[in-house]
Amino acid sequence: MLKVGLTGGIGCGKTTVALLFAQQGVPIIDADAIAHALVQQGQPALAEIRDTWGKEILTKDGSLDRARLRDLIFTCPKEKHKLESILHPLVFRDIQMAAGKVTADYCVISIPLLFETGMASLVDRVLVIDCPTDTQIRRVKHRDHLSSEQIQAIIDTQVTRDFRATHADDLIENTETNDKLAEQVKKLHNLYLSISHCQD
């Protein structure tokens, strides 16, 4: 089975593209959703995060204070590394488990930090979603209500657009209308089916 890694910078439209693949009946494995599930109350990863940063990293009801954690890791690379050492091995494991259960011709594994986390080894082919930096900032401002400085700090922790583009097998420039985006996804869907069948 062909495993396609879907990645791109924050605000580039990865979720939209993943939904378009899902509409074609393609199984989607979402690394962010896996990471989110891993830090729910009662999960060992949340306990380890609490032990690392103390109870102040939790809200009053005992769940993860995501805003506090985000501010912490994007202002201190050392703290970011601590979080990654807790979550990334678990995310890697769960992605492999999920992919092993797929019976379709191919699946899309959405990993925003595919290159940064060294998870490119999980996939057979890399699809990068790209857009200009000013577009990223505008979209994330609208979606997450962060300041330009906060968004730029996040962008600065990620690999560059050029790096992603040069390491991509396929590239979608997400600056067109959604109709155009759907056409590009359909073409790639047919390509991935063809590649998958050639592997059989």
CB 178 within 8 A of CB 32: no
Handedness of CA 83, 84, 86, 90 (dihedral sign): positive
Report residue 9 as tokens. Answer: 């910078």
Q: What pLDDT band is residue 64 in, cutting at 50, 70 and 90?
A: very high
> Per-residue confidence at 199, pLDDT binned at 50, 70, 90?
confident
Predicted structure pTM score: 0.90
pLDDT of the residue at 146:
85
Task: Say whether pLDDT at 27 is over 80.
Answer: yes
- Annotated domain spans of the chain: 1-27+105-200, 33-101
CA torsion angle 136 25 92 174 (round to 10): -10
**Pairing verdict, β 28-30 and 170-173:** unpaired
Q: Using CA atoms, how far apart are residues 19 and 30, in angstroms rounded to an integer?
A: 11
Residue linked to tokens 């940064």: 116
**What is the average pLDDT across 83-109?**
95
Structure tokens belonging to residue 114: 């595919």
* CATH T-level fold of 1-27+105-200: Rossmann fold (3.40.50)
DSSP-derived letter for residue 160 is P
The string of pLDDT tens digits covering residues 113-167 is 999 988 999 999 999 999 999 999 999 998 988 889 888 888 988 999 999 999 9
Distances from the Cα of 184 to the Cα of 12, 31, 57, 65, angstroms: 15, 23, 42, 38
